[in-house]
Amino acid sequence: MEKILEVKNLTKKFKHIAVNNISFDVEKGNVYGLLGPNGSGKSTTFGMLLSTINPTSGSWKWFGKEGTDTDTLKKIGAIIEQPNFYPYLSAEKNLEIVAAIKGVPNKRIDEVLDTVNLLARKQDAFKTYSLGMKQRLSIASALLANPQVLILDEPTNGLDPEGIIQIRDIINSIAKSGTTIIVASHLLDEIEKICSHVIVLKQGTAIYSGSVDAMSNTKGFFELKAENTELLISTLNQLNIFSSVKEREKLIIAQISEDISASELNRKLFEQGISLSHLQKKKESLETQFLELVKQTNS
């Protein structure tokens, strides 16, 4: 897989350490989430990678090339700050100005407005736009020069549920077209719905970097119930495919260590004379996995 970005031991110290020795790679075509609470170093990381903040130490390569020069910046579309458009000009006129600065032909304007579902409103003044529309116009502006990577810092901040869904759908459709996306958010739910990969930041330190699916290496668990609880527990333990078997609120919870389907387990237990009144295979939510991860790094 082609590497778009390689970050090595990146550190920024203001008065205190804002970003602490983080390393991660971004591969082409994936959507990466930079997940962490306010003040965990997301914007500072973006600032360094976009050359607006000087790093204290560490290095990175964009497209295999050290640092961030002007040629590299042309391949990156970024929305880091609040949208900055002329309030009395239409969306179209505002984008004409951006297109002229970026040397992009005007025919691209309708394409990007279409991508963010604003084509029908292109003649309206920016000041008449809702917050969600303003945010979508910023995404359109960042897409004008056909970037290979799109960087979004908290793209749904302050939006209502409908606005959040619209932005999420737009991000998903941009990702489908092959653009690599890096999105910072403090919202776990957002990362889970948009991203294939995640870097979890806690007080400037990356406590996890990898695929969202593998964030916890848990294979999930079974919830089971049978009349003879003792026999069920001892039989489950004898099967040697569970890392733990515990009783919780009248249900038996068996953590899976070796993959097995619910029907196969049901059959195995039936062969041992156990008929189940409840059997369900479940996986911990990302939130549970995330909290577990944070707990582990606290200990």
Q: Tell me which residues touch ligand ATP (CB under 6 A).
A: 14-15, 18, 36, 38-44, 154, 186
If the CB atoms of residues 199 and 232 are measured against ligand ATP, the closer one turns out to be 199
Contact (CB, 8 A) for 123 and 169: no
Rounded Cα distance between 100 and 256, Å, is 58
**Tokens representing 153?**
């810092």
Q: How far is the CB of 190 from ligand ATP (least distance, A)?
A: 13
If the CB atoms of residues 4 and 18 are measured against ligand ATP, the closer one turns out to be 18
Contact (CB, 8 A) for 221 and 248: no
Task: Print burial letters for 63-99: b (CB count within 10 Å at least 16), e (below 16).
Answer: beeeebeeebeeebbbbbeebebeeeebbbbbbeebb
Q: How far is the CB of 198 from ligand ATP (least distance, A)?
A: 14
If the CB atoms of residues 42 and 197 are measured against ligand ATP, the closer one turns out to be 42
If the CB atoms of residues 39 and 83 are measured against ligand ATP, the closer one turns out to be 39
If the CB atoms of residues 186 and 193 are measured against ligand ATP, the closer one turns out to be 186
Q: How far is the CB of 251 from ligand ATP (least distance, A)?
A: 39
Q: How far is CA 171 from CA 77, 113, 116, 212, in A?
A: 13, 14, 9, 17
Q: Which of 143, 138, 151 shows the shortest CA–CA distance to 46? A: 151
**Tokens representing 269?**
């237990």
If the CB atoms of residues 13 and 127 are measured against ligand ATP, the closer one turns out to be 13
- What's the burial of 151, exposed, middle or buried (CB within 10 Å: 0-12/13-18/19+)? buried
If the CB atoms of residues 44 and 68 are measured against ligand ATP, the closer one turns out to be 44
Q: How far is the CB of 168 from ligand ATP (least distance, A)?
A: 18
Q: What is the DSSP letter of 128?
A: G
Q: Which of 80, 83, 82, 77 shows the shortest CA–CA distance to 144? A: 77
Q: How far is the CB of 65 from ligand ATP (least distance, A)?
A: 24
Q: How far is the CB of 201 from ligand ATP (least distance, A)?
A: 7
| Helices 107-115 and 131-143, axial angle in degrees (round to 10) | 130
Q: How far is the CB of 18 from ligand ATP (least distance, A)?
A: 3
